Structure formats: structure tokens, C-alpha cells
Amino acid sequence: MPRNYRSPTAEESAKLDKSREMMQKGIEGETDFLSKISPTMAKSARDTQRSAKKMRESVPAAAREGEAYNQAGYAKGGMVKKRGVTRADGCITKGRTKGRMV
């Protein structure tokens, strides 16, 4: 079954970027020296991460997946070229000089 994804709109891209920034702040806040000493600082960092995750999940899954494919460098659609010569009966022959001295 083919995956359906699409490019995110400008509004969705802004949400995804903001959630990514919030997640980074939360991770940095969790590893900060003060959060190791104070449990309230660690809790605020986890709350930031939770809200970032919630914001990310508010964007439709098709747009999130499309963004991931675009960032990974994949293109949507297209054809894969065959390596070899296709005969009329549908067989693909590859390397026609096999067994012959040229």
C-alpha cells in the first residue's frame, strides 16, 4: 500500500519549526546543571518537551511525513530505470557478450 504524504503548508511548517525549537530547549534544559539540582527546573523542561510534542502532533501526519521525506532528500513519485535491454517477450537480457571473446 503506497504511503500518502504531502508538503506541509507555510503555517504547518512554522508549527513544526517552533515545536523543533521547543524540543531542543527542553532537552537542553533537562541536561542543564540547575535541573540536576532542582526538580522543578527538570519538570519545566519536561513540560516544554510535552507541549512541543503536542504542537507537532497537531499538524496532520501526511504533512509531517512529507517534511521528513523532503529533509531526507527523497523525491515523490517517478520511475526507476531498468538496467539492461528489454526484449519483446518481456525478458531483460544483461551483458550480451557473456561467453564470447571480443
Q: Where are the domains of the chain?
A: 10-76
Using pLDDT thresholds of 50, 70 and 90, give the confidence band for residue 90: low
pLDDT score at 101: 64
**Number of other CB atoms surrounding residue 23 within 10 Å:** 18
Question: Does residue 48 contact residue 39 with C-beta atoms inside 8 Å?
Answer: no
Please write the tens of the pLDDT for every residue from 35-74.
777 777 788 888 989 999 999 899 888 888 888 877 777 7
